[in-house]
Amino acid sequence: MHQYSIRVVALLSGSLVATCLALVACSGPQSLDRAITVVDESAYTQALADQKNDPAEAFLTMRVEELGISAEQAVARDQALSTTKNPFKARKDPVAVSRGAVVYKKHCADCHGQNADGRGTRLPEALAGADFHDFSHRFASTLHHGAPRAWFRKITGGYTAETPNSDGTFSEMPAFNDTLAREQVWLVITYLQSLDADLQDDARAENE
Ligand code: HEC
């Protein structure tokens, strides 16, 4: 009897371990803070402070230092990036995901929510269109190869009108064309793609 119960306990704890492992393996989407490395966040926070809160300037300055290039080269490099094809791979590039998560946290989370669920404080109410766990967005980031490209357009171009509501909240997507560097837009898209547990391989996300 005694032996039996030990065996049951062993069996139970074994399956517990297996379940945990399975959960970790399947967990795919990472929470914002788990995706971000402290170094990436503090470097960008510092750069933003140094560049008077200008996101593109802050980001490009970081690139200048990191790559040992001139400011002009950093701008040219950024402008040379595609507007239709994500140069990063959400499943293979944790650095890009971390940097994208930093962009998300600083510039998107107030509206789209810390969990990317469309429940940010600057929206008048939770909006399905701003929820990246919404089926249509998940579907878009995986099966429909045009989505990342469409997201790039939406993020840079916003929607036609971006007037705040009378209480200062927003019901429309603002344009980030003059705010973010092109690379930052792709990084944040990469982070959004990383949220999709169904996105098992990057081939499907390369929007070719
Ligand atoms: C001031 C609020 C606000 C901020 C900040 C904001 N968004 Fe949005 N965004 C919205 C709203 C509102 C919608 C939903 C529009 C709708 O439902 O039609 C939206 C929709 C979107 C969509 C979906 C477009 C579509 O048609 O599927 C994408 C992609 C998006 N936002 C990305 C971002 C990213 C990335 C950032 C940060 C760089 C960001 N947004 C920052 C308010 C915001």
Q: Where are the domains of the chain?
A: 1-30, 31-205
3-state secondary structure of 117: strand
Query: Ligand 1 centre and the CA of 187: distance in Å?
Result: 15
Confirm or reject: Cβ of 130 under 6 Å from ligand 1. yes
40-52 pLDDT, tens digit each: 999 999 999 999 9
- Closest among 206, 191, 199 to 100, alpha carbons compared: 191
**Atom 18 in ligand 1: which residue has the minimum CA distance?**
129
Query: How much is the mean pLDDT over the chain?
Result: 81
Query: Ligand 1 centre and the CA of 174: distance in Å?
Result: 7
Query: Ligand 1 centre and the CA of 184: distance in Å?
Result: 15
| pLDDT reported for residue 141 | 64
Split at pLDDT 50, 70, 90, the class of 202 is: very low
Q: Which CATH class is domain 31-205?
A: mainly alpha
37-66 burial: b if 16+ Cβ within 10 Å, else e: beebbebbeebbeebeeebbbbbbbbbbee
Query: Of 9-18, 88-97, 175-184, 196-205, which gets the smallest average pLDDT?
Result: 9-18
Is the backbone of residue 158 left (phi > 0), alpha (psi -120 to 50) or beta?
left
Q: Please give the DSSP secondary-structure letter assigned to residue 165.
A: P
Query: Ligand 1 centre and the CA of 141: distance in Å?
Result: 15
- 111: tokens are 């509206």
pTM of the complete model beyond 0.75: yes
**Atom 22 in ligand 1: which residue has the minimum CA distance?**
130
Is the distance from CB of 147 to CB of 193 less than 8 angstroms?
no
Indicate whether 139 pLDDT > 80. no
Confirm or reject: Cβ of 110 under 6 Å from ligand 1. yes
Residue whose tokens read 């989505």: 147
Confirm or reject: Cβ of 176 under 6 Å from ligand 1. yes
Indicate whether 200 pLDDT > 60. no
- 167: tokens are 């209480």
| pLDDT reported for residue 170 | 78
Tell me what percent of the residues of the chain surpass a pLDDT of 70.
Answer: 74
Q: Is 1 exposed, middle or buried (0-12, 13-18, 19+ CB in 10 A)?
A: exposed
Query: Ligand 1 centre and the CA of 173: distance in Å?
Result: 4
Confirm or reject: Cβ of 122 under 6 Å from ligand 1. yes
| pLDDT reported for residue 67 | 97
Side chain identity at 87, as an amino acid letter? P
Question: What residues does 131 pair with on adjacent strands?
Answer: 117
Confirm or reject: Cβ of 102 under 6 Å from ligand 1. no
Maximum pairwise Cα distance, the chain: 77
Q: What is the mean pLDDT of residues 73-92?
A: 94
Confirm or reject: Cβ of 127 under 6 Å from ligand 1. yes
**Atom 29 in ligand 1: which residue has the minimum CA distance?**
151
